Structure 1
């Protein structure tokens, strides 16, 4: 059986892992949802966009430059498809007479979604519980 020190370390370690994951998700997911029109008229046309991050081919995170800095400094909007987004952003910048070499950079990222983490969490908990029980039964013999 676990003594109090081992149990406390296990609890502390678990809380630490949950805290780190929670903090990471908070930092990555904070931001305000805007529409494509809001993005276009309030940020892109005014030159306030530093870069765009297409995340998991589902939404675009807008990173603002120093001219567009606000309390949130991060906005996002949903996209139908990557192809239509690329076509729309390129056409918008061409309409603004921006040279292709000066287009706002677009970065593609794959990030762990909270929904995918929550779907594997029960499996991880079951495996952890089984390992704990096996260790405990081995110590009793």
Structure 2
């Protein structure tokens, strides 16, 4: 597969530095950057992706800034489970009854461009396999 267009996510991921904060997501959480929020509770927020890769593409992020899925601890288990439950509930609310994909990118080779854990939920079209 291709790495996508110049300036795309893969290129952003190559430039992104872990620990450079505040991230765009912390600015969405504090309200200093607007977002199209479709779900929120005391632990997480879901909002539409600004560069959607499918007819439905939203992100679920924890309010607590965990930088990477590879950096989680046993104590994060409840929160991680909650993020998946919210992804499922929000996908249903978005009409994705025929299925969808949940993606978590980790690090440079995983094309992670924002170092604040986020679940991509993509649906509304047939997904291909293998991904990437």
Structure 2 length-normalised TM:
0.30
Larger relative helix fraction: 1
Which is bigger in relative contact order (C-alpha 8 A, separation at least 6)? 2
Structure 1 length-normalised TM:
0.29
